[in-house]
Structure 1
């Protein structure tokens, strides 16, 4: 795991890959809980029999926003940003979904530092996030996440 203690250390990674998370399996229970939390019970996500018989993937698929919601969890496996008073998920930009994540697929996050700036003591970073699906040639998505850090 990458340890970052201050702005200067963070800045030294500009343009570089920061790391890759562990594999995470998205199972039907997680999909169903996400459907309950977001009130999105579309059958392609929650009806295993219908998805198997009528769906284009022959299985249920994870919600696109479920896969996005994994970013903070998987990011914490890549980088330990220390000496901060506050960390804020500031935004997401230019995301493209490339391939559906089927139930029981394993995914991992690859992160690359694209931009970093000091905004009067607040560090703004843009991380290119790529969600890889195990044994698949195309990623689930590629896009930028923006974090704000207030270092001590």
Structure 2
């Protein structure tokens, strides 16, 4: 697997991110969808990586930096063909490593409470994330689970 910092200009990543947004709106009420669209992901405080096997896109994930100590995982997604093959774990470890290199000490995320999001919650728990309260600009939401991890 090859992990690359992505400029978000390729057709493959645009399709994957649109699929991600579509699924988020199908799974959650619109007011509870916190997934970012393509233009929001191009902000200076966000870096997005893609995972490739040869010329096949397998997944993506982003890190949003909130301040000098805290960041947030955004837009974690694997393609249907890449599910349950370790792509998300590999990418998450990569992003956490990058966060440590930046000097971040805490990484948080928001995901859903519905069954659709159970694999995501399991992935994050497997990598040491624990449930927490809302962070940054998030508000309590019955459709959201907030998780964080302290980086050592």
TM-score interval, smaller chain: under 0.3
Structure number, greater radius of gyration: 1
Q: With structure 2 as the length reference, what TM-score do the two structures score?
A: 0.26
Greater share of strand residues, 1 or 2? 1
- Greater helix share, 1 or 2? 2
Greater RCO structure (CA 8 Å; 6+ sep): 1
